[in-house]
Structure 1
Amino acid sequence: MTSLTPWQQRPSTGTEDIQDEVISWYQQARHGRAYIPTMIWGTLQTEAYATVILRQVVDFLGVPDDVPVGVAKRMERQQVLYDGEHHYEVILGEQALYTNVGGPEVMREQIARLLRDQDLPSLSLGILSATAEVGIVPMPAFDMNGDGRVDYELVSCGVEITESAELALHDKAFEALRNAASYGDAARKLLTRALGFWGDCDSASG
């Protein structure tokens, strides 16, 4: 089954309710997988990065402005990385390290956070190099929460997939992405290169 929910119906009271819903998803699903090609996964975002993202959501959708509350909830969600009960497989596209969210200072702090958390026991972090050969056509970001649901965030709506045959295809897609991604020292090299890029940008602007 596939269901669509227009975004303007969901955050009609601001971002807090959606963040509460996501916290519940993460607490209930002990294992999750996510592929995010162009931005940083929400559960690894710094407070500054998340503030920029949620400000964009509020401004774009024209919903009530509760950005500080929404950011606080997003930070609360991140406790699943440290409770010893959850594990997440996350693949970021290399472009996610270079998409400018908030400027060089915000990006430098964000990349440093990824380097710091890369070795968390709860996290398997892969970086899909821009030049990696992947055995599947390009696709948008998706989250696989436990074994029973895949979520997409599109411009105008959220999409939830629960049909078993479609879930199996997402399993196959994630495996192809995993096989092409860089992990460990290779991922660290890509992260360090991005950190240097944003450091150079900061120096140039100064």
Structure 2
Amino acid sequence: MTSSIPWQQQLSTGTEDIQDEVIRWYQQTRHGKSYVPEMIWGTLQTEAYAAVILGRVVAFLGVPDDVPAGVAKRMERQQVLHDGEHHYDVILGEQALYANVGGPKVMSEQLERLLRDIDLPSLRLGIVPATAEMSLVPKPGFSLYDGGRAHYELVSSSVDITDPAELALHHRAFDAISDAAHYGDAAKELINKALAFWSNA
């Protein structure tokens, strides 16, 4: 089954309520997976980075501006990385390290945050190099949650997929992307390269 809900409906009261819902998803998911090719995964975002992202969402969709409240909730969600009860496999595209969100200072602070958190026991963070060859056609980013759900965030709506056969394909796709990703010191090298770029921008 596939369900789609327009963002303007979900964000009709602003960004805070949907962040509460996302917190529940993460608290209920003991082992989650996310592929985020072009931005930093929300649960690793700094306050400044998150404020730019949510501000852009508010401006683009014309929904109520409660960005500080939404950012506070996004920071609250990050507790799952430190409570010892959750684990997340996260893959970023190398482009996520260079997509300009807020300028050099915000990006430098964000990449420093990645370097601090990459060795957390709750996190397996990979980076797919821009030149990596994958065994499947590159796909939009998606997340996999406990309870049998794949989640996409599109321009106009969010989409949830629950059909078991489709979910199996999503897990296969995630494994293929993981095979192309760099981890550990190789991932840190890619992050440090991007950090040097933003530090000199």
Paired amino acid for 1:36: V
- Give SS of 1:85's match: coil
Matched residues in 1 for 2:40 and 2:145: separation? Answer: 17
How many aligned positions are there? 201
Query: Which range moved further: 141-150 or 130-139?
Result: 141-150
1:155-204 CA deviation, whole Å, 9 max, x = no partner? 00000000000000000000000111000010010000000000010xxx
Question: If the length of structure 1 is used for normalisation, what is the TM-score?
Answer: 0.97
Distance (whole Å) between structure 2 residues aligned to residue 29 and residue 38 of structure 1: 23
Deviation at 1:147, TM superposition (A): 4.8
Tell me what 2:160 maps to: 160
The corresponding residue for 2:181 is 181
> Deviation at 1:146?
1.7
In structure 2, the residue matched to 1:109 is 109
1:89 counterpart SS class:
strand
TM-score by length of 2: 0.99
Write the distance in 2 (CA, Å) between the matches of 1:153 and 1:118. Answer: 24
Q: What is the CA–CA distance in structure 2 between the aligned matches of 1:145 and 1:19, rounded to whole Å?
A: 16
Unpaired runs of at least 5, structure 2: none
CA distance in 1, matches of 2:158, 2:151: 7
- AA at the equivalent of 2:113: R
Counterpart position of 1:62: 62
SS in 2 for 1:112: helix
Q: Which amino acid aligns with 1:94?
A: E
Question: Deviating runs (4+, > 3 A) in structure 1?
Answer: none
- The aligned counterpart of 1:39 is 39
Please state whether the residue corresponding to 1:25 is helix, strand or coil: helix
- What secondary structure, in the 3-state scheme, does the structure 2 residue paired with 1:32 have? strand
Report matched runs for 1:47-86 at 5 Å: 47-86=47-86
| Distance (whole Å) between structure 1 residues aligned to residue 143 and residue 61 of structure 2 | 22
State the Cα RMSD in Å: 0.5
1:68-89 deviation digits (Å, cap 9, x = unpaired): 0000000000000000000000
Identity of aligned residues (%): 71
Question: Which residues of structure 1 form unaligned runs of 5+?
Answer: 202-206
